[in-house]
Amino acid sequence: MRLRQKEPGACDYEWVSGPNKGYGFSSFQQVAYRSIQDRAGTPSGLQPIAVDEHREAIRDFLGQINPETGYLGD
């Protein structure tokens, strides 16, 4: 897992043990603000992503993989 330095809340996951080199997915944390003033007054409204949330994202990704191809299924 790699956090994007210039995009808070964005994570890239590479499936290093999978059959397709460099394959993986990205996730993005969404934040809702009540108003523009709320957003402007909050330099970083993002909370760190919990380990359980990372695990859930990984399980969701792997659950969508076609076992025959090693890629996302249709």
22 has pLDDT over 80: yes
**Assigned domain for 36 exists:** yes
**Assigned domain for 25 exists:** yes
**Assigned domain for 73 exists:** no
In this prediction, residues 1-16 reach a mean pLDDT of 87
Tokens representing 29 are 């944390």
In this prediction, residues 40-51 reach a mean pLDDT of 66
For residue 56, the surrounding DSSP H or E stretch is helix 51-63
**Assigned domain for 68 exists:** no
Nearest to 30 by CA among 50, 51, 8, 13: 8
CA distance 68 to 19: 10
In this prediction, residues 47-61 reach a mean pLDDT of 88
Give, as one character, the DSSP assignment of residue 27. E
Tell me the residue range of the domain where 18 lies: 2-63
**Domain total of the chain:** 1
Strand, coil or helix: what is 40?
A: helix
**Assigned domain for 72 exists:** no
Residue 32: pLDDT band (50, 70, 90) is low
CA distance 6 to 33: 20
In this prediction, residues 9-34 reach a mean pLDDT of 86
Specify the pLDDT at position 26.
Answer: 94
Specify the pLDDT at position 35.
Answer: 66
